[in-house]
Structure 1
Amino acid sequence: MITEREQEILDLIRQDPLISQQALADRLGVSRSAVAGHIMNLSNKGAIRGKGYILADSPYVVVIGGANMDILGQPCDKLLARDSNPGRVSCSPGGVARNIAENLARLGVDVRLIAPLGKDVYGQTLLEQGLQCGIDMRHCLQLDDAVTSTYLSVLDESGDMSVAINDMQILERLSVEYLRSHADMIRRASLLIVDANLPANVLEYLLSQFPDLPIFADPVSGPKSEKLRGLLDAIHTFKPNLAEAKRLSGVDAKDEGQLPQLASWFHRKGIKRICISLGAQGVYVSEAGRHQLYPPPPIQPVNANGAGDAFLAGLAYGWLAQWSTPRSVNFATAASAVAMSHQATINPNMSLAAVNRLLEETYS
């Protein structure tokens, strides 16, 4: 794995392939011998080839969107409305984009997150936890005068979300100008993933200025999905739930037999692959005239909050591996099952080995 310091050196070399070790040391505020050691390590890792700092091509994913602190409550028994429910309350890093990025990092993918963070306790926690699990957090926007996003959700007794409240005003501070300053890094990515927490003008910029990049998108919610309505032709893979898909399309699919009609509406708008989450019924996937309903693995969910984010991360992993859609969806479904088997939004045991183990148990 490339360390944070080594990544800084690689970024400086990309800007000036003939930069000297002394110049690198001066820019980073370290000794020349320390830089020489990092250069040797990068050569051993295959990130640098030969003289003149010829950089090896290393694929990476850029994820842009929300990063929140999640506060989660679940009752011990049946959830009673308008009453105090004995139960458990936990606090963990969350946010659609950040969750996708962490799942990818835990699967061993080089992933770079762009999200706004306040310079407060929650923001510092998100920054430190992201670095610890392997997310490249250097491109996040850190603000002195804003509060880090917070997402408060209450689950019912079965683990499904009953109600949620989010405070995500800081997302409005992530501007097109800020993203333009990172445009070269975004353009060199193998895949771009966005969520609809982003402001409408930012989504328009991202979905119009990188035509050569495959883009995966998560609509987040029905109201937020409206920001994507006129931009669907730029999206390769779209992952709505059934309610979001019906709201955007106006197609009132009431049973499985009407799902092809629903998917066809999105294909006519330019989307190449659509994965419609059906909850306990699985996921309906349509691509290039091929339609299939994939059932979920037979597990009892502990917390379904992070399932969709893990699913999209699994699809991204399959894209990087150049897998077929059926193989990618099976992998993504297993990743979502691993996510749901833990109380936290992100299962700390998420790994390539854990997903493959579940795949073997399910399909062998």
Structure 2
Amino acid sequence: MTEREQQILALLRRDPLIPQQELADQLGISRSAVAGHIMNLAQKGHIRGKGYILAEQRYVAAVGGANMDIVGSTAAALRHGDSNPGQVRCSPGGVARNVAENLARLGADCRLVSVVGDDIHGRSLLEATQRAGVDVRGCLTLPDAATSTYLSIQQADGDMALAINDMDILNRLTPERLQAQRDLVRHAGAVVADTNLSADALAWLIAESGEKPLFVDPVSAFKAERIRPWLSRIHTLKPNRLEAAALSGLPLERAEHAPDAARWFHGQGVRRVVLSMAGAGIYYSGEAGDGWLDAPDCAIVNTTGSGDALMAGLVWGWLNELSLADSVRFARGCAALTLSCAATNNPSLSRAAVDAYLNA
């Protein structure tokens, strides 16, 4: 699905009776171009019959962080305590927001629940996320708060050397404010959460999501502690080595430690574990067994956002009833395409692009 088709489909989901001319006006294109895109959507099975009857599709509710990513990089070795020549880029970020954008680019119906400030970063975040095909009506805008910001410094190999996050605004995404999105969470086909949410907000989300499959990104070793009371409710957990070690208390210095950590998580009630072991690859474990995949084979330009693309691929695999092994393989393709892109989210990500990467 092209980016323009994603935009049109998102508008049709909000108003199935919207006239083509109004679609054209909102998107800044001609009515005939809209008609062509709608014909393509019908041929691809996203629209059935007249009146823009949309094909039935379970939507995903992504709840958590939305922030502006500011990334500094240099081609030389970092010199601490000194000014380093390089490049500085800004792009929309935040774990839940990134997962939502990636899912939308893959063709899934995704609704984002987050909070931003009434400032230039907040407006830019919502506009870019909506343009990617995500429904952002569940996002709250606070006039007296600054939009969350994530600042990272990258080494010459593209890996992160240091990061600072200013995410205080997420503490104001309280259960009371989330209550307005209760029906959105309850009717979702799956829920994605990140631990940028406060402990109280996570408790509310898990209570309201009921038996819905819950996909959780622990975000960091420190924030991972917030999900400890709720491990038994998690369908898919995607920790990295440090996060898994912090939660399990088990060593994870070597690849052979991964199965023991996964068994510990299963003992707590987690159904599926997808463990990122850096250069050692990805270890996955679930009801149907376990396995390893090598780390993505690609030229690394930017590591920020690759884990979120991996999570989006896992959710997409579940939506499309893939096995865990096939879901992880598809998700690794999403991560590879993101690693090879300077932006936090690869604007060229699509199912076709992932398939082409996997079949190359």
Alignment TM class, shorter chain as reference:
0.7 to 0.9
Query: 8 Å contact 1:251–1:262 — kept in the other structure?
Result: yes
Contact 2:185 2:208 in 1 (8 A): no
For 1:20-35, what aligned pairs fall within 5 Å after superposition?
none
Displacement after TM superposition at 1:300 (Å)? 2.0
Separation in structure 1 between the aligned mates of residue 81 and residue 262 of structure 2, nearest angstrom: 39
Partner of residue 25, structure 1 = none
Task: State the distance in 2 between where 1:165 and 1:351 align.
Answer: 30
Alpha-carbon distance, 1:289 to partner: 6.7
Correspondence 1:151-230 to 2 at 5 A: 151-230=150-229
Deviation at 1:178, TM superposition (A): 2.5
Q: Which residue is 1:123 aligned to? A: 122
Separation (CA, whole Å) in 2 of partners of 1:321 and 1:87: 42
Q: Distance in 2 between matches of 1:102 and 1:143?
A: 22
Q: Which amino acid is the alignment partner of residue 164 of structure 1?
A: A
CA distance in 2, matches of 1:164, 1:70: 10
> C-alpha offsets along residues 245-264 of structure 1, whole Å, 9 cap, x if unaligned?
00111111332222211111
Q: Report the residue type matching 1:270 in the other structure.
A: G
Q: Which residue of 2 aligns with 1:92?
A: 91
Percent same amino acid at aligned positions?
A: 44
Q: For each residue in 1:33-87, what CA deviation from the matched residue of structure 2 results, as whole angstroms up to 9, or x when unmatched?
A: xxxxxxxx9xx88879999x99864311110000000000011211222221111
| Alignment match, 1:241 | 240
Q: TM-score, normalised by structure 1?
A: 0.86
Q: Which amino acid aligns with 2:86?
A: G
Alpha-carbon separation, structure 1, partners of 2:53 and 2:251 = 55
Whole-Å Cα distance in 2 between the matches of residues 108 and 70 of structure 1? Answer: 24
Alpha-carbon shift at residue 279 of structure 1 (Å): 1.2
- The runs of 5 or more residues in structure 1 that have no matched partner are 14-20, 22-40
**C-alpha spacing 1:308/1:46, structure 2 compared with 1 (3 Å):** closer
Contact 2:152 2:160 survives alignment (8 Å)? yes
Aligned match of 1:7: 13
Runs of 4+ in structure 1 off by over 4 angstroms are 1-5, 44-51, 53-56
- Contact residue 76 and residue 88 of structure 1 kept, 8 A: no
Q: Find the aligned partners of 1:47 and 1:133 in 2 and give their Cα distance.
A: 19
Report the Cα offset of residue 184 of structure 1: 1.5
Does the 8 Å contact 1:47/1:58 carry over to 2?
no
Residues 62-141 of structure 1: pairs in structure 2 closer than 5 A: 62-141=61-140
- Write out per-residue CA displacement over residues 152-172 of structure 1, whole angstroms, 9 at most, x where no aligned residue: 000111000110000001101
Match of 1:26 in 2: none
Q: With structure 2 as the length reference, what TM-score do the two structures score?
A: 0.86
- Contact persistence 1:49–1:56 (CA under 8 A): no
SS in 2 for 1:222: coil
Give the distance between the partners of 2:348 and 2:198, measured in 1 at CA.
33
SS across alignment from 1:100: helix
Q: Where in structure 2 are there 5+ consecutive unaligned residues? A: 19-37
Does the 8 Å contact 2:62/2:110 carry over to 1? yes
Quickly say closer, same or farther: Cα 1:231–1:93, change in 2 above 3 A.
same
Do the aligned partners of 1:97 and 1:194 also contact (CA within 8 Å) in 2? yes
Instruction: Find the residue that maps to 1:335 and give its secondary structure.
Output: helix
How far 1:208 sits from its partner (Å)?
Answer: 2.4
What is the CA–CA distance in structure 2 between the aligned matches of 1:317 and 1:78, rounded to whole Å? 38
Q: Distance in 1 between matches of 2:48 and 2:136?
A: 22
Amino acid at match of 2:321: Q
Cα distance in 1 for residues equivalent to 2:353 and 2:79: 35
What one-letter code is carried by the residue in structure 2 that aligns with 1:279?
A: A
Provide the C-alpha distance between the structure 2 equivalents of 1:175 and 1:239, rounded to a whole number of angstroms: 24
On the 8 A contact 2:191/2:209 being kept in 1, the answer is no
Query: What does the per-residue CA deviation read over 1:88-136, in whole Å, with 9 as the maximum and x for residues that have no partner?
Result: 1111111111111111111111111011011100001011111111111
Amino acid at match of 1:7: R
SS of 2:222's equivalent? helix
Asked if the contact 2:182–2:208 (Cα under 8 Å) also holds between the matched residues in 1, the reply is no
> 2:300 & 2:178 partners in 1: Cα distance?
37
Kindly indicate whether the alpha-carbon contact (under 8 Å) linking 1:64 and 1:193 is maintained by their aligned counterparts in 2: yes
1:207 and 1:235 in contact (8 A); partners too: no
CA 240–143 in structure 1, closer or farther in 2 if over 3 Å, else same: same
Q: Distance in 2 between matches of 1:252 and 1:137?
A: 40
Letter in 1 for 2:121: Y
- What per-residue deviation string (whole Å, max 9, x for no partner) do you get for residues 289-308 of structure 1? 72212102321211011110
Q: Which moved more, 1:282-291 or 1:155-164?
A: 282-291
Distance 1:55 1:345 in 2: 30
Supply the AA of the counterpart residue of 1:201. Answer: D
Q: Residue type of the partner of 1:162?
A: A
Query: 2:24 corresponds to which residue?
Result: none
Please say if residues 64 and 114 of structure 1, whose CA atoms lie closer than 8 Å, have aligned partners that are also in contact.
yes
